[in-house]
Structures are given as C-alpha cells and as structure tokens.
Amino acid sequence: MASYPLSTSTSSSDISTPRSISPSSSVASGRSSHSSISSSKRMSISSTRRISAANPMSSVDITAIEEAMRMANLDTLRGYSQNRYGEVRQYATTEYISQSQALGYQMLSEPMWNKGLSFTPEQRVAKNLTGLIPHVMEDSDKQCERALKMIRTRQTGIDKYLYLSTLKAENVDLFYRLLIDNAKELMPLVYTPTIGDVCLQYSTLYTRPEALYISIKQRKSIKTMLKNWRYPNPEICVVTDGSRILGLGDLGVNGVGIPIGKLALYTAAAGIHPEKALPIVLDCGTANEANLRDPLYLGLRSKRPSVAEQQEFMDEFMQAAAEVYPEMVVQFEDFESEKAFNYLDRYRGGYKCFNDDIQGTGAVVLGGYIGAVNLSGVPVEEQRLVFMGAGSAGVGVAKQLVEYYTKRGMTEQAARDKFWLVDTKGLVTRDRGDKLAEHKKYFARTDNSGHQFRTLEEVIEYVKPTALVGLTATHGVFTESVVRALKASVDAGGLGRRPILFPLSNPLTKAECTFEQAVTWTDGTVIFASGSPFSSFTVKTSEQPVTYHPNQGNNVYVFPGIGLGAILSKSSRVTDNMIYTSAAALAGSLNAEEVQKGLIYPRIERVRDASLIVAREVMKAARRDGVSQLPEEQWLEWEEWGDPALDKYIKARIYDPEL
Ligand SMILES: NC(=O)C1=CN([C@@H]2O[C@H](COP(=O)(O)OP(=O)(O)OC[C@H]3O[C@@H](n4cnc5c(N)ncnc54)[C@H](O)[C@@H]3O)[C@@H](O)[C@H]2O)C=CC1
Ligand SMILES: CC(=O)C(=O)O
Ligand SMILES: [Mg+2]
C-alpha cells in the first residue's frame, strides 16, 4: 500500500487550472437565483472574494464571477467557480455550511474535479480534503485495477454498466482513464451491445439524469432547457428522438442511453472534453406499447404526433440549439429512416450537423470496404454488392460507396448499377408494385425485366454478388444457404477469391449471422465485419488450431473524428467531402501489424489513434470546402509544416484524463 508523508505546504498547482484545452472566455449566464438558500448560508460577492483570497482556489477570477452574476442578475452566489477552461459556472451541489468543509466536499462531489485517491498531500491540505478520503495515495493504474476487479466480479452486462455509470458520475477522470486503457473490454459495456439492453430497461434502471430530456409538451421552453445544462458552451451534441434505437425499434425516451453512450465514446475515442458533450433526447411520445404500459416509463405516455408536428418540434429544437450554443455541432442519431433522411436534408445547409446512421455508417463501411476489396482478390471494378436492408443505414452506405466509385472515374449510373438493395418485400425494383419510400428510389432496379425477386437466395442466384452487407436489424437472415451461395458466386473460377460479408446490425442479437457461422460456412475465407463485436474464433484442425479475427464495422471509428474535426476547424457546416474524407482516412489508419493480420479496421484499442487521423483529415477537407472559420494565416502555417503541425494542434486540444 502506497503511503506518503503529509506536508503542510500548499501546492502552486491548482486542480481547477485548465489543463489540455485552451481557455475560453465564455461565462455561464442566464441562471436563476436559488432563493431557498437560507440567509446564513448565502454568500455575498465580497464573501466570495474573501473565500477565494483566503483559500487555495486562488485561480478563480473574481471579476469573471461578478460578471457572470451580473449577467444572471444574481445578488447571491451559490457556488460559482471556474472550470478547467477558465469558464465560470455554477455548482449545482453547493450548500455552504462552512467554508473549510465545503471546499473539500465540493472537490469530491464534483465528478469533473474529483481525483479519487490521486490527490497529492499538498492538494489534500490545500483543498481541505484531509480526513475526507482514505490516507493512501494511489496512481491511476492502481485505481483502475480496483475498478476492473469490481467490474469483472459482476455477472451481467447491465450490472457492469451500472458500476461504470456510477463511476462516471463520481470521478470522470477515472472513468475515462479506465475506458481508454481497456477499450476492448469496456467499450461493449458503455456502447453496443450492452447499451441496447440498458435502453430497453432505461426507465427501470434510472437513478439520475445524465442528459437533457426535452419534451414536445414543453416546446416553448427549449432555449431555457438548453441553458439549464450543467456545463457551459457544449461543443458536440448527440440528439435522438428514440424512434429507431439500434435494431430495437421505437424506445421513446428510453433511447437516451444512445446519446449518452455515443458521447462517452466522443471523449474516449476523440478526446472531446466531457464537459463539452451534451446528450439530448427529444420526447415526442412513442409507438412502443410495452413502454406506454410500463408504470415506470419515464417519457410522455402518448403516441407520436403526426410527422409534420414532429418536424415542427425539430425545427424549433434546431433553431434554439443554434441560438443558445452557436458553436455546437449536432449529431443526429437513431431517428427512424424517413425522419433521418428528411432532417439531414432539411438542416444540413443551415446548421452544423450530420447524421451518424446515414453518413457515419456510410463512411465507416467505405473505410472497411477499401481494405476488404484488397484482400478479396476481386478487383474493385468487378465487385457486385447486395445489400440486405434498405433503411437509413443501408441506403447511406450504398450512397457513400457510389461516391467512392465515381471518384475513381466511374459514371454515376455505372456505379449505381453495382448495387442491389433488398428489403422485406424483396429486391427493390421500380416496378415492384408497392409505393417505394423516397430514400429507396435512387437504388430501385430497372433491369429485372418485370421479374420480382422475393428472397435473398433468389437475388444471390440472379446477381452473383461478391459482397453481402446486412443492415436489417434482423438476426439470422444470413442463413447457411445464403452464405454458401455467396462464397460459391465469388469463387466460381476457383481462383481463391474471398467473399466480403458484413452483418452490421446492432446489437449482437440482431446481427444477420455470427462470426463463427460466417467462418464455418465459408471455410474460413470470409472477410468479415459486424456492427457489434464478436470474439475471435478458433478452428481445430488436424495440424494446428487456426484462429480467425473478426472486424468491428461500427461508426464509432468515424463519428468521433468527424465531430472533433468539425469542432477544431470551426466549420460552419459538415460537408460531404468531410464525411468522405473520414472514410479514406480511416482506411489509411491501420498499422503494419493490423495489415499483416488481415484486418480491415484498426484494432478497437487503437480507435483513439484512428480518430485523430480522421479528425485531421476532416479539418483539411473543411478548409478545402471553404467552411473552416479558422484564420487563413493558421492554415498557411500548417501548410508549411504539414500534418505534424496539425497533429500537434489537435493533440494539444484534446482531453486526456490525468489522475
Ligand atoms: N454497424 C454500424 O455502425 C451501424 C449499424 N446500424 C444497424 O443497422 C440496422 C438498420 O438500421 P436502419 O437502416 O437505420 O434501420 P431501418 O429500419 O431504417 O432499415 C431496416 C431495413 O431493413 C429491412 N429489413 C428488415 N427486416 C428484413 C428482413 N427480414 N429481410 C429483408 N430486409 C429486412 C427493412 O425493410 C428496412 O429497409 C440496425 O440494426 C442498426 O443498429 C445502423 C447504423 C450504424
Ligand atoms: C451504431 C449505430 O449507430 C447504430 O446501430 O444505430
Ligand atoms: Mg445509430
């Protein structure tokens, strides 16, 4: 057990000092005063000044606090202080019972400031923490070891998730240190697949708010609700209306687990500061009968209103968000297909926004496809792709791949002809007889000579594809006969060509087939990527066992870098080129070991490295498209020094938890 001598000297380094991100001059404003505080507990400006002068939180800028109070029209102060950016903000938790004790408890109860057992002796004395935490001082490794031990003793994914969630609510640095250093083990807990189970039960599991919950019933106060967010000036927001959560359907407000999880990955994978991440669920009711019947359900107990009314609400949200947080990039997540396409078209010209399911998924699959084609032995021009699923993800991916082909010089028509999309009614054709959703029309085939192909087997027999992509949210649709037919159609000439098989639906229970099935049914030749992670699979042979490694084809490899790139380049819009570039950057981010292993994505442990490369290239694309609002001199300087200068800029601005 580590021990240390207690010293009475105070440290010059203050925990509240900004660390890795450049200071901002913005201040919290517009908050209401808390008149319920008894007068004995109130602090006047002068007492604040006295506290600040007397105690070691000496970096607090009194002028800025006074300015914040003036703007908020406050005559009493309830715990304003500065965060790491130098921004003034309000403590939600502060009840000043006595100055000396309050300071220590504040440090421990504020998750962004709590350093657990890492507080140095100097900090413990300076912050009046002595006696409030055990004597031992531990580095981050030791504290992570304890947390990992606790996680591993828990039996279910949800129990592990709940432990992690509590940790995040208590000690943000420790949570992110743990997540970053143990990405392979822990990412499936805060993200897919476990987050799917969490969303299904969110209303029962709920213990504390972690997002903004904006209901259509309170649509006139969206701005007020946005301003009520705990931290000032968020830079990235992930918003859903819960209408298509992973492959689990309409979960209503329970879908909020997705924005929370995605933003945890923004921090872990791209170093967006946790204070700058804003998860939002727009509650418009739900079509989910089980939720509507659940007495514990936390959302509006009503069916969704008309599409037009939901759109009006979305219009109001987008306007309010841009007004309250003009710098914030908005990521649309898990909106049901029609809305997903509509909102992207509607807002992308006027706001800084992108759709992760359409554009992020398009980019991540393109990134993996580039590597997969190289491994397959089938030249890219000869590839023929069948997509099972023609929703926001299926169409988004197919369109991104069409762009890839056209950038390689193919005509748009020839590129489009490489794709056969299948949905619940069979091959999507112009003359199928049903009213095709708008987003499917682009890929509707006209070369079917009036014949309608109803099953995937029929489509494979007809198309003879080289690649099969699943985005159906339906487990088991890649049957043994389907996968064997794919293999046969790729390897018809016995040239050792390999099939590309991407069952991409989430969570794991919705994957179109498993990794083990894919390996077995293709005799180990498959090039495989799934949306949620599968384990490696070892086949025992008469000689020595052969282990096959799956890839995870999930938009987590691009959305954090797209968001970070858009933020750091101060982009006024998220352009198609920024999205496209993210795919190319991802494809180029594998290291030699990964290439040698036959992977098509970097190992998930390296997602942070990949995100930084993606962010850098997205920034450059923003500049090329004329949407970066960084000063021209800055870009000229980077041009002289090249990528290392830009990398340095990015690295200096990202969050790296220190304990
Ligand atoms: N790996 C990744 O990064 C991503 C994975 N996804 C996953 O993709 C899935 C689909 O998402 P969306 O396109 O947004 O959903 P969606 O509901 O818009 O589309 C689903 C499509 O699949 C079709 N479909 C459903 N069952 C089918 C069946 N048995 N046979 C043939 N077609 C069938 C539907 O007709 C529809 O065209 C979800 O599970 C989602 O989690 C989505 C985004 C990213
Ligand atoms: C990964 C993701 O965005 C989805 O499954 O919806
Ligand atoms: Mg999604």
Catalytic residue among 262, 352, 399, 510: 262
Q: Give the Cα separation of 618 and 629 in Å (integer).
A: 14
pLDDT of residue 29: 29
What band does 64 get if pLDDT is binned at 50, 70 and 90? low
Q: Are 493 and 466 in contact (CB under 8 A)?
A: no
State pTM to two decimals: 0.87
Q: Whose CA is nearest to atom 5 of ligand 2?
A: 246
Asked if pLDDT for residue 132 goes beyond 90, the answer is: yes
**Range 470-484 average pLDDT:** 98
Quick one: how far is CA 584 from the chain centroid? Answer: 19
Name which residue leads in pLDDT, 192 or 112: 192
Binding site membership of 594 for ligand 2 (Cβ less than 6 Å):
no
In degrees rounded to 5, what are phi and psi of residue 421?
-100, 135
Q: What is the pLDDT of residues 358-398, one digit of tens each?
A: 999 999 999 999 999 999 999 999 999 999 999 999 999 99
Runs of H (alpha helix) within 408-452:
412-416
Cα distances from 344 to residues 255, 313, 315, 583, in angstroms, run: 20, 15, 12, 19
pLDDT of residue 494: 79
Q: What is the DSSP pairing of strand 385-388 with strand 329-332?
A: unpaired
Asked if pLDDT for residue 626 goes beyond 60, the answer is: yes
Asked if pLDDT for residue 82 goes beyond 70, the answer is: no
CA atoms within 13 A on the CB side of 377: 14
Catalytic annotation present for 262: yes
Quick one: how far is CA 444 from the chain centroid? Answer: 32
Residue whose CB lies within 8 A of the most ligand 1 atoms, among 248, 344, 354, 423, for a mutation test: 423
Q: Give the Cα separation of 246 and 356 in Å (integer).
A: 12
Distance 457 CA to ligand 2 centre (A): 26
Name which residue leads in pLDDT, 618 or 126: 618
pLDDT of residue 67: 54
Q: Are 177 and 144 in contact (CB under 8 A)?
A: yes
Q: What is the pLDDT of residues 544-580, one digit of tens each?
A: 999 999 999 999 999 999 999 999 999 999 999 999 9
Distance 334 CA to ligand 2 centre (A): 7
Q: Give the Cα separation of 562 and 579 in Å (integer).
A: 7
Name which residue leads in pLDDT, 503 or 1: 503
Q: Give the Cα separation of 203 and 254 in Å (integer).
A: 6
Distance 470 CA to ligand 1 centre (A): 7
Which are the contacts of 103, defined by CB distance < 8 A and separation ≥ 6? Answer: 55, 57, 127, 128
Q: Which residues line ligand 1 (CB under 6 A)?
A: 244, 246-247, 337, 357, 361, 364, 388-394, 422-424, 471-474, 477, 504-506, 510, 531, 553-555
pLDDT of residue 202: 98
In degrees rounded to 5, what are phi and psi of residue 630?
-70, 150
Distance 164 CA to ligand 2 centre (A): 21
Catalytic annotation present for 548: no
pLDDT of residue 97: 32
What band does 543 get if pLDDT is binned at 50, 70 and 90? confident
Q: What is the DSSP pairing of strand 236-240 with strand 277-283?
A: parallel
Q: Are 562 and 345 in contact (CB under 8 A)?
A: no
Secondary structure class of 599 (helix, strand, coil): coil
